[in-house]
Structure 1
Amino acid sequence: MGSNAKIGGGGFHHVAIRVYDFDATVRFYSEVLGFQEKVRWGEGSSRAIMLDTGDGNYLEVFAGGTEGAKPEGAFLHLALRSDDVDGAVELARAAGMEVTVEPKDAVLGGIPVRIAFFKGPDGEIIELFQSTGDVSL
């Protein structure tokens, strides 16, 4: 875990993208860039996967994207590690940021986590991500 005392832990957990060709994207990042599958969930256009980039930081790939180039690319959000999602989201709220998803528990491919989302100063989507089970993600 990192050393960011404000949000507890800190550092990037993952960057998320939504893609049109899920299988080709996963093959590229796995076979060409050497990312390793950590966990996957969902089916069809609702499937997703976390690929370890090699240092415990992840690329999260979601299916269901539209074909062709996107004005802002395929990036959805950035996620920051935290060991206190509830406290960290209150820091963002107190700074005037819009909380778009209140802190909640979720299970990703059998791994329990706690997450929250808010908009940064320029509208960028920021996720706070906390592993809560025996297996860390």
Structure 2
Amino acid sequence: MSTRLHRGFDHFALRAADFDATVRFYTEALGFTVAYEWTSPGTVGRSAFLDAGNGSCLELFDAPTSVPGGPAHPDLTAPAPTDAERAAHNALLHIALRTDDVDAAYAHALTHGARAMQAPADLPQTGLNGHTDSRIRLAFVYGLDSEVIELIQRDDFVTAAGSPAASDR
């Protein structure tokens, strides 16, 4: 048996301006569960892994926590950047969450504090080698910390040979 170079995404990390509100948003609006909470050594901040339901997680840090790849001491007094400023400067474009019903997930997220970015729509698509066997429906919202969340509903991709795409292998 050969070693796999990866087994999918493990987690994404997000700094939350209001830790408790962000935990509530991801658990109540998007169906995550709190898997593990901790306080990072040498900090006063709180951290948590929120399980997406398939073993992939969203890692949350509250605002004063220093995190790998982040500023040592974030400036909490500076005004928060606008959605447009974040989009212009962030390397991470969005977090995509797979759902069975984009329209219902979009409406539910909005009732729990998300802000509308792009309403649900079908993505015009041409599949591999011109096949159009796969359907994609998606929507985008801004989360409580201006993170862009894509809600995506899609069939497994179908290859030219008619079998599921390599992601299922």
TM-score normalised per structure 2: 0.37
RCO higher in structure (CA 8 A, sep ≥6):
1
Which structure: larger Rg? 2
Of Structure 1 and Structure 2, the greater strand share is in 1
TM-score normalised per structure 1: 0.44
